[in-house]
Chains A and B, each alone.
Chain A
Amino acid sequence: MKSSVKSRKFINKFFKYFGVLVFFTTFSVAKAEHEPTHEAVSEHQAKAEGKFKPGEMIFDHIKDGHDWHLWDYNGHPVSISLPVIIYSSNKGVECFSSSHFEHGHASHNGYKLVDKKIVAEDGHKFYDLSITKNVASMLLGVFLLLIAVFYAAARYKKNSGKLYGVQSFLEPVILFIRDDVAKPSIGEKRYARFMPFLLTVFFFILINNLMGLIPIFPGGANVTGNIAVTMVLAVIVFIITTFSTNGGYWKHIFLPPVPIPMYIIIVPIEILGVFLKPLVLMIRLFANITAGHIIILGFFSLIFIFGEMSKPLGYGVTVLSVAFNLAMNCLELLVAFLQAYVFTLLAAMYFGQAKVEHHHGEADHL
């Protein structure tokens, strides 16, 4: 019991500092990548020439989009066009199908697609609230989740005592989150009010992770591997944590039980820690899921890269690539559950740490 708490604290600390690292590296990457916009143009030209660009293909899949790409036919993409919703102060709400853009080849209502993003031709400010691929996939996932959970809830209301169908999957998971995540992290007394959030966030992440692993239409979007989604989840965790704090928590941050001179170092770190915790949640989920998608797509790209060299080589590599992807998908299946679990566990631990009881205060600092 004690060792598990210790190891958890260690993991927590580890992610805290690791998070700082990731945070700064991401920023530097973000800066570096902002400059070459014409590179995308050259990639586009390359595609027109028929050359396979794995980078473009991979990012095309993991990034959000205004249409749901199904396959290419005769060099033309076949995709489901999704609704575009734009709000701007001068033109109000505009709503039209993304098919009007013709995959970036045409402009509509003064907007056009540049690098999968909507840009106003006259440069006026607007807000893009479109139902993108990720939004559509998320809605679908949530819809499935609602069906499953409500089905189970109806079974529970009948209280027959026998497990049936999806209920027999949900129950052990719910019990696991209650008994092994919420209770030890938050405590027997307070865990109950966090349960709805923990369960919702676990199943929300899980269903979207799993949907992302389905390679064909209803899945394949990269919802939980999108920084916007993970950011929203992390911010909600941050808000809940902050609103369930007590005096002990803030005392622990601003008046830690260390010698006064150490305050110069400890207090800024502690304050930074408050924001780093959710930031780490955001980055971990995003990075894990995106990395998984990139690796799987990378293996598939190998087929086409070698296929362009010589056809027999392409066929040969197919076998290898499929074998690798099989293993990779198994791993991703694990990761789908693991990341949902880790996110929920860490959220629960942050909630648990939000209320520092006095006699625990000093021990917690180590």
Chain B
Amino acid sequence: MDLVTPGLGLVVWATVVFLTLLFILGKFAWKPILNALNEREQKITDSLELADRTRREMENIKADNEKMLKEASIERDKILKEAKEMRDSIVATAKKSADEEGRRMIAQAKDSIEKEKSAAMAELKNLSATIGVEIAEKILRKKLESNTEQDALIADYINHLNLN
């Protein structure tokens, strides 16, 4: 049965055609295609690697940023705290000094008031003494205008004196 008997012509043609195809495709098609595929794969691998590296770098930068941010916020808190403390202390000092000043001024005022008062009292005393003396003088003058009265008085004095 010639179905399983290879025909010479077809054997020759198949050999020629296939080998030619192998040569042409191998040299001009498969080589560039396979090279392009390899190149592309290499490029993909490289890109992935690069992306990975970049991602890691980004993570590092982000971590650094976060650290810096944290540090900055700590710093800020510290500064704020310090400022507050300073303000408080200033206020406290100011208050204290104001208080003292007030107290001092009050004391001073009291002092001066006291002084004025004693001065006034002294003056008053003097004045009242003077007035008393003047009044007594006037009264005496009036009472001792007549001689009898002067004598009576003298006699009285003398009476009193004798007993001693």
Contacts and interface: CB of A to CB of B under 8 A. Distances in A.
A127 to B, nearest CB: 6
A195 B22 CA distance: 11
A150 B28 contact: yes
B33 A130 contact: no
A200 B22 contact: yes
Nearest to B6: A228
B11 A232 contact: yes
Contact of B9 (A29, A135, A178, A231): A135
Nearest to A145: B21
Interface string B79-105: 000000000000000000000000000
Contact of A229 (B3, B10, B34): B10
Contacts of B24: 146
Interface residues of B, number: 34
Interface string B6-33: 1111111111011101101110111111
A301 interface: no
Contacts, number: 128
A200 B25 contact: yes
A228 to B, nearest CB: 4
A153 B28 contact: yes
A204 B21 contact: yes
Prevailing SS type, chain B contact patch: helix
The contact size tier of chain A is 35 or more
Nearest to B13: A135
Nearest to B15: A232
Prevailing SS type, chain A contact patch: helix
B145 interface: no
Which of B1, B3, B17 is most buried by chain A, counting CB atoms within 10 A of its CB?
B3
A232 B14 contact: yes
A196 interface: yes
A233 B22 CA distance: 11
Interface of A: 26, 29-30, 33-34, 59, 62-64, 85, 115, 117, 127-132, 134-135, 138-139, 142, 145-146, 149-150, 152-153, 156-157, 159, 161, 170-171, 174-175, 178, 192, 195-197, 199-201, 203-204, 226-229, 231-233, 236, 286, 290
5 contacts: A138-B17, A149-B30, A199-B30, A233-B18, A290-B3
Instruction: In the A-B complex, list the 3 residue pairs whose CB atoms are closest, starting with the nearest.
Output: A33-B1, A196-B26, A228-B6
Given A150-B28, A192-B34, A227-B4, 20 more contacts: A129-B9, A129-B12, A130-B9, A131-B13, A132-B9, A132-B13, A135-B13, A135-B14, A149-B33, A152-B29, A153-B28, A159-B40, A174-B34, A197-B22, A200-B18, A200-B22, A200-B25, A226-B6, A226-B10, A232-B15
